[in-house]
């Protein structure tokens, strides 16, 4: 009976590790999808997919932290660029939305330079 319990524990542990690995792989696949969208200049879609990657990474906890930070960094950069582009083309509502999102993520990743850049264009 004791051997059956031990075997059952190992089997269950294997399933748990397999599920975590699949989720890490899923997060990586989603991240790569966002990179491709960004390369194809589909920036809004890329930001949404980076957000999806962050959600997956948050479910992983500590294992997803590195990838989560990379996705947050990409959102900061992309939203800053889209916000500045909107500012230059006189689309203030769009500019404010993107720059606020850039600032939010810059604050999360503690990127003072990106925060300063966003506040410069936001005017505060």
Question: What are the tens digits of pLDDT across the range 28-40?
Answer: 999 999 999 999 9
State how far the Cα of 116 lies from the Cα of 10, in Å rounded to an integer.
Answer: 51
CB-hemisphere CA count at 13 Å for 15? 5
Say what the pTM is: 0.80
Question: What are the tens digits of pLDDT across the range 9-29?
Answer: 544 454 444 444 568 899 999
Domains in the chain, ordered, with CATH?
Answer: 2-122 (1.25.40)
């Amino acid at each position: 009976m004791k051997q059956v319990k031990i075997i059952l524990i190992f089997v269950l542990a294997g399933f748990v590790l397999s599920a975590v690995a699949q989720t890490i792989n899923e997060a990586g696949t989603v991240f790569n999808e966002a990179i491709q969208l960004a390369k194809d200049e589909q920036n809004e879609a890329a930001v949404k997919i980076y957000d999806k990657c962050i959600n997956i990474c948050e479910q992983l906890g500590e294992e997803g932290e590195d990838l989560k930070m990379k996705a947050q960094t990409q959102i900061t950069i992309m939203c800053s660029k889209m916000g500045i582009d909107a500012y230059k083309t006189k689309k203030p509502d769009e500019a404010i939305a993107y720059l606020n999102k850039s600032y939010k993520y810059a604050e999360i990743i503690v990127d003072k330079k990106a925060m300063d850049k966003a506040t410069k264009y936001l005017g505060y």
